[in-house]
Structure 1
């Protein structure tokens, strides 16, 4: 109890002395003056505020970039975010440094502080490695330093917060397309008394060659986005179709003894040897019906060697239709929707053409002649005696649709079972050919008056930025925690009586260094530097006189770091210190 009382008495006396000092220096410009507003750490708080703004800016960048096309940003959001979090981390480090300074001086004016405490607070606030090795001396400053060391992890987290994904955006768009609604330019020439079409017109010939080679139809500057596909209906010259079909009997089964010479040869054998057209297709056009084409097809549709043949007739009439089209903005091409057929084209009205009455140019004659070249052909089969069946064909048309799957399954030699050949229905392919060529012609053989403005549905397949809010939340949480932790270091700033720093000049003055003994003890560092900044100093060996007499020789005081020289008249102390160069012996020879 006595010791406690003495300690309390000592505290009371020191408190009285401190109060006396404050009272005596109250009117002094160097007075020790605390207070919230007077000692508010504006720069540190500004750094924290700007760090928060940078964090908010990174969040805003990621939020506003979410779902936006890549092309709408000159630089990727991650670049802007990198700038934001880099600046934020620099500001946090600055704010932490200022907070560590306040904390150091607050510890210095606290009762019970020793020099080791001050050193460790400075060391931990300056070095993450020192904080990591703090051991039993681990304190709040060490914790803050280590926490600030891992705070830059918000960088990778923020960068992962923005990723690129493929997205589809649907909208309506107005496009401009040049398309003829009827074929008014010539596609071929009529010749002779029957006015047949032997030649294609020079303007139509390249159109047909492009069709044969499968080249895309160009569609430049339509208004469809470069990263999108626009679909809808386009009014242009097309075809309407009328259908009819029936069957006819056939047989190529020879019957018995068809290989021998017999005057009583059976009709079955005669029919088998005469054979039949198991495939035949032809497209015709006549001058007195210039807007009409007839497609006639006969084919064997199963593997039976006798039965019926399918006969299909299609009357194709020139018309104005609405095509389902697709514009590819990336390749600047236009095509028919591949999922549709001629029957999906909406016929608006048929187009009639007049017989010119003479040889010369024809609007649809050349078109029909071109299709005839690709659609006309036949395949004939007959029984040829001991060698089996014989097949003759003209052109490649029949072979495009021939099906040998059943014939090759038979155990007999192939020529004995060739009558099992059959043909897939060629009508859909022919109608699509006619449709595709008419569509290409309508878009190619045009003039400026054929320009149309239509509204299409646009689907943009594009790369967009997508915010990953889980990573964003982790990064923001880490940064906000750093702000809060740093802010706690400023607690008690109002207790300090002047603007403080960790300048070695200010620290030396606080320890009452001899070289600064004439400066005011509560002067701020800027004033100290202004007053003594030009004063020359040097760190080296100095000597100080001591009173009294001592015998000759010297003694070395290892603990105090200086040497006492003994002589007859006086003693001298040699020590290392920062002093006036005139009083210092250099440690290193210049």
Structure 2
């Protein structure tokens, strides 16, 4: 039973544990335990066979019964052959063989599966925490400087953004697992404000006096004015002499009535260092959560900066290229027109198309849109993150940054992550464990039944002067040999004694003194 308890303990402890934590595998321990339990059970059966034999002898039985008790204890073949004489020794003998099944059952109870593993890990990261000065845009003209184009380095960044190329973090040290955490990198601190205005997007009628009226006018009408209304508009602005801010404005109609509200939202993007939520796998970095609120709350902003206006004299722009890219991506407009009583809707740019929420095929003034600001913020932060990745080995001075406690671009950092990886672990199968326990308990109980009456047999034997100690003291050294013994007139005669005419000699097989026995002869039938 100790071996059974040992097996159960090993299986329960090993469940869900990585295989690498076990210097000696559970399968080895289970095999040793099963071998020990099987050997101990055979030993117990040998002892139980003696007790059962004496118990049966003292309770009264035939010689055949005693013979079967002894032979079934030593042969599974005889036990099965004589199953019609089923007895306690037959059950014990079968149990001593059946118990061998417990080893494969216990082994099968614990298999290896792939399980997620989590551990804390410090990971090095090479990424720019500030955009190098003049990194994204090119300026032309003197003294009236204008933003002319994106820089070659930033053009490569935007190609990767547009084609959704994977982002690679240099020298991360994450290994083969998945590391998740926050990383400091260049981004935007975002400040947004919103307001709404009453606005009539509907038809303009002329009353009986020729005065224009709103779309809710229900009096006499003398005519109708052709109109055009902007129902969605998004655009970016940037001034080279104010290089710290990229501004975004979106206006949209979000309610169905033609006479409703015009929503206006304005956001200012300033350079900053942010805490990006990332996951790293095999050197490829991705975002572990949405970036739509990144840079809008203090807990996501490490530091915000300004850029000196004299940047324009350096012929390059730090944020100008980002402005050009954002304008190309997100400048969009939707306007409705009513000409000769017919309504039409015209849309330019993808943002207005993506955020339309309702289109009225008869009266376009009922069309509505939703707020695209979250998508714009997410895209702007991803563009900045990709730019920071491309500048991972830049360590140029930052004389134009205001509010920065560093003289150069910061690129190296250690980030605390949680590494998640898939590794082999043990998996417990309770059904196989239960089957092994049931078989082992049943077999032990069967062998234990042979010890029943052992104390009684010992007492009766002692009270009847049938202890063997005294007998062995008298005849223990006497020499015996099993073989052919000759009898004449009821007495043993030596093998070499001549037969007397007229007297019958009988031969038997039995234990006797070696001088009175000869080896059994083949083909002879003995009495």
Q: Same fold (TM over 0.5)?
A: yes
Deviation at 1:424, TM superposition (A): 0.4
Find the counterpart in structure 2 of residue 356 from structure 1.
311
Deviations, residues 529-565 of structure 1 (Å, cap 9, x unaligned)? xxxxxxxxxxxxxxx997656xxxxxxxxxxxxxxxx
Q: Is the 8 A contact 1:371 1:434 kept in 2?
A: yes
Q: Is the 8 A contact 2:484 2:509 kept in 1?
A: no
| Alpha carbons of structure 1 residues 271 and 465: separation in structure 2 relative to 1, 3 Å | farther
| TM-score normalised to structure 1 length | 0.63
Greater helix share, 1 or 2? 1
Deviation at 1:147, TM superposition (A): 2.6
Find the counterpart in structure 1 of residue 368 from structure 2.
422
Find the counterpart in structure 2 of residue 121 from structure 1.
69
Secondary structure at 1:341 match in 2: coil
| Number of equivalent positions | 463
| Alpha carbons of structure 1 residues 147 and 179: separation in structure 2 relative to 1, 3 Å | same
The equivalent position to 2:381 in structure 1, one of 407, 432, 435, is 435
Find the counterpart in structure 2 of residue 513 from structure 1.
482
Find the counterpart in structure 2 of residue 148 from structure 1.
96
Deviation at 1:188, TM superposition (A): 2.9
Q: Is the 8 A contact 2:204 2:227 kept in 1?
A: no
Q: Is the 8 A contact 2:484 2:507 kept in 1?
A: no
Deviation at 1:211, TM superposition (A): 2.5
Deviations, residues 139-162 of structure 1 (Å, cap 9, x unaligned)? 331221233344245346534654
Deviation at 1:130, TM superposition (A): 4.8
Measured in 2, the distance between the counterparts of 1:581 and 1:221 equals 89
Find the counterpart in structure 1 of residue 258 from structure 2.
305
| Alpha carbons of structure 1 residues 338 and 126: separation in structure 2 relative to 1, 3 Å | farther
Measured in 1, the distance between the counterparts of 2:432 and 2:103 equals 10
Instruction: Please give the residue correspondences for 1:171-570 in structure 2 after superposition, counting only pairs within 5 Å.
Output: 172-184=120-132, 186-192=135-141, 195-219=145-169, 222=172, 224=174, 226-227=176-177, 229-231=179-181, 233-256=182-205, 266=212, 273-323=226-276, 325-329=277-281, 332-338=284-290, 341-342=293-294, 343-344=296-297, 345-354=299-308, 355-358=310-313, 360-386=315-341, 388-404=342-358, 407=360, 414=361, 416-447=362-393, 450-457=411-418, 464-465=425-426, 475=436, 479=440, 482=443, 486=447, 512-514=481-483, 548=501
Q: Is the 8 A contact 2:72 2:90 kept in 1?
A: yes
Q: Is the 8 A contact 2:76 2:93 kept in 1?
A: yes
Deviations, residues 296-350 of structure 1 (Å, cap 9, x unaligned)? 1111111222333212111111112333x13244785342523862224532332
| Alpha carbons of structure 1 residues 131 and 328: separation in structure 2 relative to 1, 3 Å | farther
RMSD: 4.9
Instruction: Please give the residue correspondences for 1:70-89 in structure 2 after superposition, counting only pairs within 5 Å.
Output: 70=19, 72=21, 77=26, 79-80=27-28, 83-84=31-32, 86-88=34-36
Deviation at 1:383, TM superposition (A): 0.5
Secondary structure at 1:119 match in 2: helix
Deviation at 1:483, TM superposition (A): 5.5
| TM-score normalised to structure 2 length | 0.70
Measured in 2, the distance between the counterparts of 1:110 and 1:120 equals 15
Range with greater deviation from structure 2 (171-180 or 95-104): 95-104
Q: Which 5+ residue runs of structure 1 have no aligned equivalent? A: 1-50, 408-413, 498-508, 518-543, 550-569
Q: Is the 8 A contact 1:198 1:369 kept in 2?
A: no
Q: Is the 8 A contact 1:211 1:437 kept in 2?
A: yes
Measured in 1, the distance between the counterparts of 2:350 and 2:45 equals 87
Measured in 1, the distance between the counterparts of 2:437 and 2:431 equals 10
Q: Which 5+ residue runs of structure 2 have no aligned equivalent? A: 216-222, 395-409, 459-466, 470-478, 487-496, 511-516
Measured in 2, the distance between the counterparts of 1:496 and 1:168 equals 66
